[in-house]
């Protein structure tokens, strides 16, 4: 009970009718608006590995003396199974946050999530100096707080544990800048997700300054206010370990080809929904996954020896001949483009292809076209939209018919191939017949002459 109350106080659960629900099979416990009367129900959360607290106001707990725990309490905290804690719809005084974090330094919590929370006031964090937290993942979604700029000093007190953090997400939270010094604290961070914020081209360069996020492998800048492809490239050049970059859903301008070099380590690149009407250059040279779906591409002039996944759905491409330049492609998505025929005779490419999706294109169901697609359907998986999403647009008499239903037997398709040999044989027979006739006439004529002479 001691632990339960402490947890409760630490987590600041407040008035309102509510209680905790524990799902044993999922080891998941959800508490909503706990009050003093329903406080006891937190006991059932103790065996849980994920605990969520939703609703309330923590302000009144800001003065709690959490930092001075009894050794016996610390031992108890260490035995808890809790791995992940979620706080939602809460007003959190920042001073209390510092204390709560301190409290967790005695547990084995690895992931801490704050959703739709407001952090009020400022904490100087100095109490946290030298404190070790087991937390590896920290997520903030739809939170508000005082701006970070000017508080670098305060955060440096947190460096001993921020140094070991591996994943950080601050999403949908109106972030406009991340000061250079903050990035330098995150020495081992592998994943940074700052999707759905207000970062602009000019805020990236200071954020990814020399020495910031030296181990970063995954970066999501999805749906921010970025506009220049070139400037994003310039700003991320120092991330030498970067493998996965998502800049989807920014309204980008490709601009002229630039001399900027992307990190050589980049393998996965997401440019989906960026309003591109041409392929931006340069692209990272060693890509394995490239997502350029939901753009306005008309043509594609790319060449990648290593590309395995190419996603191009929802563009305006008119042919798929570029696959010739991507010899190890395994996944190709071409749905909803303007491609009339699929290059089914690219045997070298098709050898590796496992997943091809190309529904919603205006297919030309001439014999070779329809047969090409039917052949492909027999060789690779054409996605869940096969056959109903593959419809003929030409020639007129097949318009609206499923590609699958177009007859493509040799006789129907390539009548010339069947009829020509027959004609040749017939012609030869005719010639042979004529020659025979001529010969026999000649012989008859000779016989007659001989008979006449003899007479």
Asked if 198 interacts with ligand NAG (CB under 6 A), we say yes
Q: With respect to ligand NAG, which residue has the nearer C-beta, 246 or 336?
A: 246
Minimum separation from the CB atom of position 320 to ligand NAG (A): 15
Q: Which residues contact 231 (CB under 8 A, 6 or more apart)?
A: 201, 202, 204, 205
Minimum separation from the CB atom of position 349 to ligand NAG (A): 20
How far is residue 392's CA from residue 304's CA, in Å, rounded to a whole number? 31
How far is residue 143's CA from residue 164's CA, in Å, rounded to a whole number? 23
Helix H or strand E segment including 92: strand 84-93
Tell me the site size for ligand NAG, rule CB under 6 A: 26
168 closest CA partner among 148, 151, 150: 148
Asked if 149 interacts with ligand NAG (CB under 6 A), we say no
Minimum separation from the CB atom of position 148 to ligand NAG (A): 15
Q: With respect to ligand NAG, which residue has the nearer C-beta, 182 or 268?
A: 268
> Which of 328, 338, 379, 394 is in the footprint of ligand NAG by CB under 6 A?
394
How far is residue 202's CA from residue 226's CA, in Å, rounded to a whole number? 9
How far is residue 35's CA from residue 32's CA, in Å, rounded to a whole number? 9
> Which of 369, 370, 398, 406 is in the footprint of ligand NAG by CB under 6 A?
369
Q: Where are the alpha helices (DSSP H) in 356-414?
A: 367-379, 410-413
| Near ligand NAG in 255-284, by CB under 6 A | 270, 272-273
Asked if 372 interacts with ligand NAG (CB under 6 A), we say no
> Which of 215, 225, 265, 375 is in the footprint of ligand NAG by CB under 6 A?
225
Q: Which residues contact 389 (CB under 8 A, 6 or more apart)?
A: 335, 359, 360, 383
269 closest CA partner among 314, 318, 298, 302: 302
How far is residue 41's CA from residue 81's CA, in Å, rounded to a whole number? 17
Range in contact with ligand NAG (rule: CB under 6 A) among 162-170, 329-337, 344-352, 360-368:
360-368
Beta-carbon count within 10 A of 281 CB: 15
Minimum separation from the CB atom of position 120 to ligand NAG (A): 11
> Which of 41, 249, 361, 374 is in the footprint of ligand NAG by CB under 6 A?
249
Q: Where are the alpha helices (DSSP H) in 123-162?
A: 152-156, 159-162
Per-residue H/E/C for 55-87? EEECHHHCCCCCCCCCHHHHHHHHHCCCCEEEE
Q: With respect to ligand NAG, which residue has the nearer C-beta, 142 or 156?
A: 142
Cβ-count burial of 102 within 10 angstroms (0-12 exposed, 13-18 middle, 19+ buried)? middle
Residue 191 bridge partners (DSSP) = 167, 218
Minimum separation from the CB atom of position 164 to ligand NAG (A): 27
Q: With respect to ligand NAG, which residue has the nearer C-beta, 76 or 266?
A: 266
> Which of 159, 176, 321, 414 is in the footprint of ligand NAG by CB under 6 A?
176
CA distances from 200 to 230, 250, 359 (A): 13, 10, 36
Helix H or strand E segment including 23: strand 20-23
Range in contact with ligand NAG (rule: CB under 6 A) among 23-31, 51-59, 104-112, 423-431:
23-31
| Near ligand NAG in 24-53, by CB under 6 A | 25-26
How far is residue 233's CA from residue 219's CA, in Å, rounded to a whole number? 13
E-strand stretches of 202-348: 218-220, 244-246, 268-270, 289-291, 309-311, 331-333
| Near ligand NAG in 307-336, by CB under 6 A | 311
Q: With respect to ligand NAG, which residue has the nearer C-beta, 116 or 258?
A: 116
> Which of 52, 234, 291, 335 is in the footprint of ligand NAG by CB under 6 A?
291
Minimum separation from the CB atom of position 237 to ligand NAG (A): 22
> Which of 46, 64, 218, 289 is in the footprint of ligand NAG by CB under 6 A?
289
> Which of 207, 315, 364, 374 is in the footprint of ligand NAG by CB under 6 A?
364
Q: With respect to ligand NAG, which residue has the nearer C-beta, 198 or 321?
A: 198
Q: With respect to ligand NAG, which residue has the nearer C-beta, 3 or 394?
A: 394
Minimum separation from the CB atom of position 227 to ligand NAG (A): 10
Q: With respect to ligand NAG, which residue has the nearer C-beta, 159 or 318?
A: 318
Asked if 340 interacts with ligand NAG (CB under 6 A), we say yes
Q: With respect to ligand NAG, which residue has the nearer C-beta, 30 or 158?
A: 30
Range in contact with ligand NAG (rule: CB under 6 A) among 22-30, 208-216, 234-242, 422-430:
22-30
Helix H or strand E segment including 28: strand 28-32
Provide the binding-site residues for ligand NAG, judged by CB under 6 A. Answer: 23, 25-26, 116, 118, 142, 176, 198, 200, 222, 225, 246, 248-249, 270, 272-273, 289, 291, 311, 340, 364, 366, 368-369, 394
């Amino acid at each position: 009970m001691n632990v339960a109350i402490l947890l409760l106080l630490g987590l600041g659960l407040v008035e309102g009718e509510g209680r905790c629900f524990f799902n044993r099979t999922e080891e998941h416990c959800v508490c909503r608006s706990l009050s003093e009367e329903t406080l006891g129900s937190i006991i059932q959360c103790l065996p849980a590995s994920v605990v969520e607290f939703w609703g309330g106001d923590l302000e009144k707990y800001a003065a709690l003396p959490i930092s001075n725990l009894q050794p016996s309490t610390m031992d108890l905290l260490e035995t808890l199974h809790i791995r992940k804690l979620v706080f939602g719809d809460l007003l959190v005084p920042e001073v209390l946050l510092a204390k709560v974090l301190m409290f967790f330094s005695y547990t084995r919590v690895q992931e801490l999530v704050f959703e739709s929370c407001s952090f009020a006031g400022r904490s100087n964090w100095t109490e946290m100096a030298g404190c070790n937290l087991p937390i590896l993942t920290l997520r903030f979604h739809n939170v508000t707080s005082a701006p970070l700029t000017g508080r670098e000093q305060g955060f440096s007190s947190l460096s001993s544990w921020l140094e070991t953090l591996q994943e950080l997400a601050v999403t949908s939270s109106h972030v406009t800048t991340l000061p250079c010094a903050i990035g330098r604290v995150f020495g081992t961070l592998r994943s940074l997700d700052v999707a759905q914020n207000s970062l602009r081209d000019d805020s990236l360069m200071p954020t990814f300054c020399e020495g910031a996020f030296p181990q970063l492998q995954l970066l999501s800048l999805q749906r921010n206010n970025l506009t220049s492809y070139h400037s994003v490239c310039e700003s991320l050049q120092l991330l030498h370990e970067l493998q996965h970059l998502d800049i989807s859903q920014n309204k980008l301008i490709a601009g002229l080809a630039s001399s900027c070099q992307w990190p050589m380590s980049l393998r996965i690149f997401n440019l989906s929904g960026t309003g591109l009407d041409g392929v931006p250059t340069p692209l990272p040279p060693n890509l394995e996954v490239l997502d350029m779906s939901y753009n306005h591409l008309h043509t594609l002039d790319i060449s990648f020896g290593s590309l395995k996944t190419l996603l191009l759905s929802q563009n305006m491409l008119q042919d798929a001949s570029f696959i010739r330049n991507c010899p190890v492609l395994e996944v190709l998505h071409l749905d909803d483009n303007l491609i009339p025929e699929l290059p089914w005779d690219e045997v070298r490419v098709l050898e590796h292809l496992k997943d091809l999706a190309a529904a919603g294109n205006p297919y030309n169901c001439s014999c070779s076209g329809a047969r090409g697609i039917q052949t492909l359907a027999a060789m690779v998986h054409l996605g869940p939209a096969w056959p109903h999403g593959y419809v003929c647009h030409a020639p007129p008499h097949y318009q609206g018919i499923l590609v699958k239903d177009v007859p493509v037997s040799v006789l129907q398709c390539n009548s010339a191939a069947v009829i020509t040999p027959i004609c040749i044989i017939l012609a030869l027979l005719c010639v042979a017949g004529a020659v025979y006739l001529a010969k026999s006439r000649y012989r008859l004529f000779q016989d007659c002459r001989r008979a006449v002479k003899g007479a």
